[in-house]
Amino acid sequence: MTKSAGARVRAVAAEIVDAVVSRGQSLDAAIAANESRVAPDDRALLRMLSYGSLRHHWRLQCWIDRIVSKALRKRDRVINALLAVGLYQIAEMRIPDHAVVSETVEAARHLQRPKLAGLVNACLRRFVRERIAACEPRDEQSEWNHPSWMIETIRKDWPDDWQAILSANNDRAPMWLRANTRENSAQEYLDRLRDAGIEAELIEGIPEAVRLAEPQAVLNLPGFVAGDVSVQDAAAQVAASWLLCDSLSERTAARVLDACAAPGGKTGHLLEIGPDDLSLLAVDSEESRIVSISDNLQRIGRDATIIAADASKPEQWWDGVPFDGILLDAPCSASGVIRRHPDIKLLRRASDLAGLAVSQQALLEALWTMLAPSGTLLYVTCSVFAAENDEVTGQFLESHDDAIENDVLQNNNIHDLMRRKACGYQILPGTAGLDGFYYAALQKRRFPEDTDVPAEHF
Measured in Å, how far apart are the chain's first and last C-alpha atoms?
57
**Per annotation, catalytic residue among 62, 123, 245, 382:** 382
Q: Are strands 209-212 and 437-444 parallel, antiparallel or unpaired?
A: unpaired
382: annotated active-site residue: yes
- Give the phi and the psi of residue 434 in degrees, each rounded to 5: -90, 160
Number of Cβ within 10 Å of residue 28's Cβ equals: 12
Which residues sit opposite 308 in a β-bridge?
Answer: 284
Q: How far apart are CA 381 and CA 426, in angstroms?
A: 10
Element (H, E) at 444: strand 437-444
- 440 CB contacts (<8 Å, ≥6 apart)? 378, 379, 389, 390, 393, 405, 423, 424, 425
Number of Cβ within 10 Å of residue 419's Cβ equals: 14
State the sign of the Cα–Cα–Cα–Cα dihedral 285, 288, 291, 293: negative
Q: Give the closest residue to 289 by CA, choosing from 312, 306, 314.
A: 306
Q: Are strands 200-202 and 437-444 parallel, antiparallel or unpaired?
A: unpaired
Q: Are strands 305-308 and 323-329 parallel, antiparallel or unpaired?
A: unpaired
- Say which amino acid occupies 417: L
CA angle 288, 378, 452 (to 5 degrees): 160
The backbone region for 24, taken as left when phi is positive above 0, alpha when psi lies in -120 to 50, beta otherwise, is left
Q: Give the closest residue to 89 by CA, choosing from 168, 6, 193, 180.
A: 6
DSSP letter, residue 42: G
Q: Report, as residue numbers or ranges, the catalytic residues.
A: 382
